[in-house]
Amino acid sequence: MTTRRMKLLNPGPVTMTQRVRRALGAEDVCHREPEFAALTARVREKLAAVYGAPGYAAVLIGGSGTSAVEAMLALVPHAGAAGSKKSLVVANGVYGERMAAMLRAQGKPHEVISSGWTGAMDLAAVEKALATGTYGHVLAVHHETTTGRLNDVAALGAICTKTSVPMLLDAVSSFAGEDIRFEEWNLEALAATANKCVHGAPGVSFVLARKDALTRPTGATSVYLDLMKHAAEQAKGSAPFTMPTHVMFAFDEALSELEESGGWTARHAAYVARSAAVRAAVRELGAPLLLDDEVAYGAILTSFRLPQGKTYEALHAALKQDGFVIYAGQGNFDGAIFRIAVMGDLDPHDQDRLVSSLRRALA
């Protein structure tokens, strides 16, 4: 029997299952006690097992996905450090641009290859740039949530492998929902969060990094987001700062639920089916896809242009009345598009209700 809880179709935080929500009510624990160390160790192991990446260690950070992305950039050496090289950011949306802003804030030299927010990554330009041998890292976004585009990180990874340039990947909205090849893509690390495709609660995020990279001198420019410090403390069963303890219990439960329900492949298949149903219904109602080609989208989110005469506010309000929260466009897309994500605890009945609700709202 489906409850009439509000269903979140924004790209995280997602609607949690009752099982995960219940875990938030776990006992109070101190983050410096052995029971919390055991919980942390369990969560770290489960994270490394999602894709079976034995050469990688998970480092947990108390904070949203952005904190994990920013902490990951501690793997980029300080400007002027021995052997340091500039980074190459491949951007086609808010989150690629945000990584460039982080490097700027950290005073680390970088260049950006941008293809606008509706374009695919410019891989020819990347290949040309990396052939110069002057770049130390490539930074990219896997699923660019600005539009729902699933970037061709396999092709980017092939270039990174060929040129021996390690990649740092923002996988905040794709981890556990899309295919990720750690070794094949020459990933030095990725950053992600508990409250998107893993279906946990917001408040904890993580970096999965090559174990040997975590023992290098830190490139952190922040006390809190020093990835190497978090890694060293967590390896000893400790934590440098207070952790969101209850959110960690929920994360542990969400990771168990993910594994028991068939892992990332099953979750991906469920998202594909949900997004296909949403796309078919919405397009039929006269709202075209934002991106030119449906195959550009990943499984997780679809962006649509608002049909003539419809405002985002009216559409949002009508859907919310029926129990669904959709998402606006960012930046230049504000007022021109709407986005529907399909992560979280949604069942076939929710899906049918959503399609009916969209029909009423867009008719």
Ligand X SMILES: Cc1ncc(COP(=O)(O)O)c(C=O)c1O
Residues that bind ligand X (CB under 6 A): 11-12, 64-66, 69, 95, 141, 145, 170, 172-173, 193
**Burial (0-12, 13-18, 19+ Cβ within 10 Å), 21:** middle
Nearer to ligand X, 145 or 186 (CB): 145
Q: At its nearest, how many Å lie between ligand X and the CB of residue 82?
A: 31
What is the rounded end-to-end Cα distance, in angstroms, of the chain? 28
Nearer to ligand X, 144 or 257 (CB): 144
Residue with tokens 């809880």: 5
Nearer to ligand X, 95 or 304 (CB): 95
Contact 188, 170 (CB under 8 A): no
Q: At its nearest, how many Å lie between ligand X and the CB of residue 307?
A: 25
Contact 305, 336 (CB under 8 A): yes
* Residue nearest ligand X (C-beta atom): 65
Nearer to ligand X, 15 or 64 (CB): 64
Nearer to ligand X, 145 or 245 (CB): 145
Q: At its nearest, how many Å lie between ligand X and the CB of residue 325?
A: 14
Q: At its nearest, how many Å lie between ligand X and the CB of residue 285?
A: 26
CB-side exposure of 270: number of CA atoms within 13 Å? 20
Nearest CA among 105, 172, 181, 108 for reference residue 144: 172
Q: At its nearest, how many Å lie between ligand X and the CB of residue 363?
A: 30
Q: At its nearest, how many Å lie between ligand X and the CB of residue 211?
A: 24
Q: At its nearest, how many Å lie between ligand X and the CB of residue 35?
A: 27
Both structure tokens of 8: 């979140």
Strand pairing class (135-141; 167-170): parallel
Nearer to ligand X, 194 or 278 (CB): 194
- Residue 296 is classified by DSSP as G
Nearer to ligand X, 139 or 361 (CB): 139
Nearer to ligand X, 61 or 281 (CB): 61
Please write down the long-range contacts of 220-223, taking CB distance under 8 Å and 24 or more positions apart. 220/71, 220/74, 221/78, 221/105, 221/106, 221/107, 222/70, 222/71
Q: How far is CA 129 from CA 64, 65, 96, 225, 357, in A?
A: 32, 29, 17, 29, 48
Q: At its nearest, how many Å lie between ligand X and the CB of residue 63?
A: 8
Largest CA distance in the chain: 62
- 13: preceding bond cis by omega (within 30 degrees): yes
Report the distance separating Cα 231 and Cα 291, nearest Å.
39
Task: Count the residues in the chain.
Answer: 363
Q: At its nearest, how many Å lie between ligand X and the CB of residue 204?
A: 10
Q: At its nearest, how many Å lie between ligand X and the CB of residue 48?
A: 21
Report the distance separating Cα 344 and Cα 19, nearest Å.
12
Report the distance separating Cα 96 and Cα 112, nearest Å.
9
Nearer to ligand X, 303 or 357 (CB): 303
Nearer to ligand X, 150 or 362 (CB): 150
